[in-house]
Each structure stands twice: as structure tokens, then as C-alpha cells.
Amino acid sequence: SLCAGGAPSLSYQELKDLKKTNVLHIDVRERWEIDRFGKIPESINIPLGELVEALQMDPTEFKEQYNQKMPSKSDPVVFSCLAGTRSKQALGFAMSLGFS
């Protein structure tokens, strides 16, 4: 299940269309889930328990840790997980940190 601020639920096709633009897709599942169920292409994995810390990192540290440019507070970001509960929590965390 996928979450974004403007549309709390996205379909897979909507995500694919968004990925053609400059959206950052953060998968908040645990690493063992990625290993077991597979990685979503062009997403970065930041388990929910690390997300608040990750979104407050120094951009250089973020790039070293996640091999991806750190999103700015105005960049489009989509969160995903297995069922939708964690992605909604992730969206709440990001918005509480000032992400729009």
C-alpha cells in the first residue's frame, strides 16, 4: 500500500506514473521483508524505525547511508509498506518534520 501527502492512497499504476517525474519512493518495510518479498525498483529502503532519524540527517550522511540524495522538505516523496499502516505512519512523521 502506498501513501503520499496529496493522495493518501495511490494505486501501483499511479506510482509508476509518478516515478516518471522526480518523486522519491521510500519503502518503510523492514530489511528482512525486502529480502523475503523483494525490492520495489527505484525505491530506497528506510525501515520505519529509522525514518525520523534519517529525515533529520546531514545530507552527506544520508547519501552515504542510503546511496540517494536526501529529499528536501518540498520534494515529492511516496512511502510504501506491506499493508499501508506503516506508510501512513511514515507520512505522519515526515509531515511533523515539516515535509509538505
Set 81, 90, 91, 94: catalytic member:
81
Q: Does the active-site annotation cover 3?
A: no
**73's torsion region: left (phi>0), alpha (psi -120 to 50) or beta?**
alpha
What one-character DSSP code corresponds to residue 4? -
The residue whose grid cell reads 506491506 is: 82
Instruction: Return the active site residues.
Output: 81
